[in-house]
Structure 1
Amino acid sequence: MARRALVVVASTRAAAGVYEDTSGKLLVEWLRGKGFDTPDAVIVADRDIPAYVAGLVDLPSVLLTTGGTGAAPDDNTVDAIAPLIDTPLPGIAHAFWAKGLESTPFAVASRAVAGFAGNCFVMTLPGSRGGCKDGIAVLDPILDSLVGLREGDACSGPAHGCCHSDAPDPDYVDAQTGLVVDAFMTDQPLEDLIADGTAATTTPAMGAVVTFNGVVRDHDGGQRVASLTYSSHPSADQVLKEVAARVSAAHPKARLWAAHRTGALAIGESAFVVVAAAAHRAHAFAAACALADAVKAEVPIWKEQELANGSTQWVGLE
């Protein structure tokens, strides 16, 4: 049975026939190209979006909205969609904002949200074609696997096939997973630690090893960065360990290792590394993403950036 998708356009003017919607058509064409059974986009006036969303039943595999993600008084798509999401995926929204910033500083003004409503993947996108193109760029390489995670086939998609058989893994595999190998703050260069961390996290039973290596880039918020210094609260090491333990409990099929730098770092140096190993790649990718997102959101770490113009900027302080 073909997987279903639905595109909803929030636009008062398009609903009134003042202009022809193009962003919804773009998303529909893309979804159909990926093999989703997708009807023409549904166009709803902004004021009617809450009622339309509340009336949705039998959600498809994918629900994408376009429009109503800004801060105008009638931009209420996000407010209507967000309560549906029971499994948020904030990393996707962050990737979307980062993609948008490549072309416009206003990308961060979008209140985009993404996640699962039951087994339905949901994301709110801006009403512009450019914003939808950015969303497609982020979602295209991951959408099939995301949908597959909820359908019990984490490697679904025409380009992938299946990454494992239906037979369960041997008992000794589960005995090696669901643990944190190590998680710590350090003032030592991570480049010297990654190899040992990877070796400790990997075992012969692990068929997938995913590494996230966050390096210092030369720009932030549209400004050039010369260098930066990471500082942390005295509790940061313990918080990092607690976050890793919680993520591990939620991803029992993976082994995890993580380290975050403190001190002065140059452009290109590693600042934050996560290694996730699992018997199958879907579990490794999911665990690595979850741990990276949680550490960024919860561990009390701040950075002082030295900008190319000679000024300094603190990030993370509240």
Structure 2
Amino acid sequence: MDLDTARFSFGVLTMSDKGSRGEREDTSGPYLLQTLQDLGYQQKAYAIVPDQVESIQKTLIAWVDDEKVDLIITTGGTGVAPTDVTPEAMVDVIEKDIPGMAEAMRAESLKKTPNAVLSRGRAGIRGKSLIINLPGSEKAARENLAVLLPCLAHALDKIHGGTSDCGV
């Protein structure tokens, strides 16, 4: 089943203290923007915020509740460093967890590095928006997004009330 990705908007949110201060170039965010645009999704938002729960939550909630962004991909803050707080920010943002997405990313990453077990990224739904946390490095973001690309349009279609069979 081929779904029209052009009907879905997306945003990319990068979590980086240094990036938010202009001290580090964000490479994973631009990669994600270009990849999703190339696949036909419509860019609606992009931002870099500090690794702070409140900043992350405020941005995600505004993008979902006010701007109605269909797909939000975050990058950064999913590890075990003291500043990695993206999963904690998701607690009060996500209404429905989708553990299979995060499990699939970790399982595929584990084939490449034992450090994949340290990833704490989540995926879930708020309203009619799908939010997915990816690691902050461009390489890891690229590899993790590749795991989910085959199911993204179908997931968004279902979240928006699509009635097509999942087994087709």
TM-score normalised by L of structure 1: 0.47
Which residue of 1 is the match for residue 73 of structure 2? Answer: 64
Q: Name the counterpart of 1:35.
A: 40
The answer on 1:20 being equivalent to 2:20 is no
In the alignment, which of 100, 112, 117 is matched to residue 91 of structure 1? Answer: 100
1:45 is aligned to: 50
After superposing on structure 2, the runs of 4+ consecutive aligned residues of structure 1 that deviate more than 6 Å are: none
What is the number of equivalent residue pairs in this alignment?
159
2:134–2:145 CA contact under 8 A, matched in 1 = no
Are residue 110 (structure 1) and residue 119 (structure 2) matched?
Answer: yes
**Which whole-Å CA distance do the structure 1 matches of 2:26 and 2:74 have between them?**
13
Partner Cα separation in structure 2 for residue 34 and residue 121 of structure 1: 17
Mapped to 2, the partners of 1:51 and 1:147 lie a distance apart of 22
What is the CA-CA distance between 1:54 and the residue it aligns to?
A: 4.8
Cα 1:40–1:86 shift into 2, 3 Å: closer
Q: Distance in 2 between matches of 1:106 and 1:154?
A: 39
CA distance in 1: counterparts of 2:27 and 2:88, whole angstroms: 23
Aligned to 2:132: 123
* 1:123 Cα deviation after fit: 0.8
Given that 1:12 and 1:46 are in contact with CA atoms closer than 8 Å, whether structure 2 keeps it comes out as yes
Identity %: 33
3-state SS of paired residue (1:41):
strand
Unaligned runs of 5+ in 1: 156-280, 286-318
CA gap 1:50/1:61 in 2 versus in 1, 3 angstroms = closer
> Using the alignment, how far apart are the partners of 2:35 and 2:87 within structure 1?
22
Letter in 2 for 1:65: T
Q: Which has the higher strand share?
A: 1
| 1:38 counterpart SS class | strand
Amino acid at match of 1:49: I
* In 2: Cα distance, 1:115 partner to 1:53 partner: 12
CA distance in 1, matches of 2:126, 2:80: 24
User: TM-score scaled to structure 2, two decimals?
Assistant: 0.85
Change (3 A) 1:104 1:123: same
Q: Is the 8 A contact 2:61 2:93 kept in 1?
A: no
Partners of 1:9 and 1:67 within 8 A in 2 = yes
Give the partner amino acid of 1:43.
I
Residue matched to 2:142: 133
C-alpha distance 110-142 of structure 1, shift in aligned 2 (>3 A): same
Match of 2:3 in 1: none
1:3 to 1:53, Cα distance in 2 relative to 1, 3 A: closer
Structure 1 residues 147-186: aligned runs within 5 Å: 147-153=156-162
On the 8 A contact 1:25/1:40 being kept in 2, the answer is no
In the TM superposition, what is the alpha-carbon distance from 1:70 to its structure 2 partner?
1.3
Q: Provide the rounded CA distance (Å) in 1 between the counterparts of 2:10 and 2:163.
A: 18
Cα distance in 1 for residues equivalent to 2:73 and 2:59: 14
> Aligned with 2:92: secondary structure?
helix
1:12-61, Cα deviation, whole Å (9 max, x unpaired): 11111112111011111111122211146311111332443354433311
Q: Deviations over 1:55-112 (max 9, x none)?
A: 4433311011100111222211111123222221111111100111121111110101
Q: Distance in 1 between matches of 2:124 and 2:60?
A: 16
